[in-house]
Amino acid sequence: MAQPLYVIGDIHGEIAMLDTALERIAADGGADAPLISLGDLVDRGPDSRAVIDTLMQGQMAGRDWTVLKGNHDRMFHRYLEDGRIDDPRIVSKVDWLSPRLGGVATLAAYGVSLEEGRDPADILQEARAAVPAAHLAFLQSLPLYHQQDDRLFVHAGISPGVPLADQTEDDLLWIRDPFLTYTEPHPMLVIHGHTALEAPAHYGNRINLDSGAGYGRPLTVAVFEGDRVWTLDADGRRPLTP
């Protein structure tokens, strides 16, 4: 029998939800169960710092945890690298420090305040001093996707019909359409987050596990075992089917 694989959707700073998810995974598959996080560790929720700490510590302890990069994770490390707060892929045109995107909450988790009237250069300097170098290096090093058997794990999705080697970083982190409206089979089953739903959904050619933890809804954990998929809830596994 194939070993169960556990996959977590977008976390968005919700450390209590992440702790609960890890407890459920350990109860279902053991403390050493393999885990994939689909990215968007930070923004909106109350403690992005603790989320990063938890995932880093798990990896450093030798656990089989793969953590992918999300678009919010890239916005965070780009801000620390060069002060950038915009991205051409943001349809709303708001910047990372807008409450809608959640950078304010992430900086607050590191003790950095964005009080009205503060010089942006001072805020950036304080943020660079407050965020541990290990956190920045961790964010910078996160992979964009992970392949396993006939499955592709990625934050946002892929551009249909484009070979994996030719996919752009922007698409892997940001794409919605035409990926979301594509109904033909992909070369692999694509498991992704990024586009928040009311609940996880299986579309046959892809599975969306972003159930909106960044908007106060539950964080989804999925279990993959053989060719079957479940969500892992408080009362155990529930089948997730097309």
* pLDDT tens string 187-219: 999 999 999 999 999 999 999 999 999 999 999
Question: Would you say residue 31 has pLDDT above 90?
Answer: no
pTM: 0.97
Selection from 164, 162, 192 nearest residue 180 by Cα: 192
State percent of the chain over pLDDT 70.
100
Domain boundaries, position 57: 5-239
Selection from 190, 188, 169 nearest residue 179 by Cα: 190
- The DSSP element (H or E) to which 153 belongs, if any, is strand 151-154
Cis omega (within 30 of 0) for bond into 178: yes
Residue 148: pLDDT band (50, 70, 90) is very high
Distance CA 210, CA 153 (A): 13
Number of domains composing the chain: 1
Supply 58's token pair: 């798990």
Q: What is the CATH number of the domain that holds 188?
A: 3.60.21.10
Residue 1: pLDDT band (50, 70, 90) is low
Distance CA 89, CA 71 (A): 10
Q: How much is the average pLDDT of 20-47?
A: 97
Question: Would you say residue 115 has pLDDT above 90?
Answer: no
Question: Would you say residue 233 has pLDDT above 80?
Answer: yes
Which of 40-49, 114-123, 198-207, 219-228 is least confident? 114-123
- The DSSP element (H or E) to which 224 belongs, if any, is strand 221-225
Could you say which DSSP state residue 116 is in?
A: T
Question: Would you say residue 117 has pLDDT above 90?
Answer: no
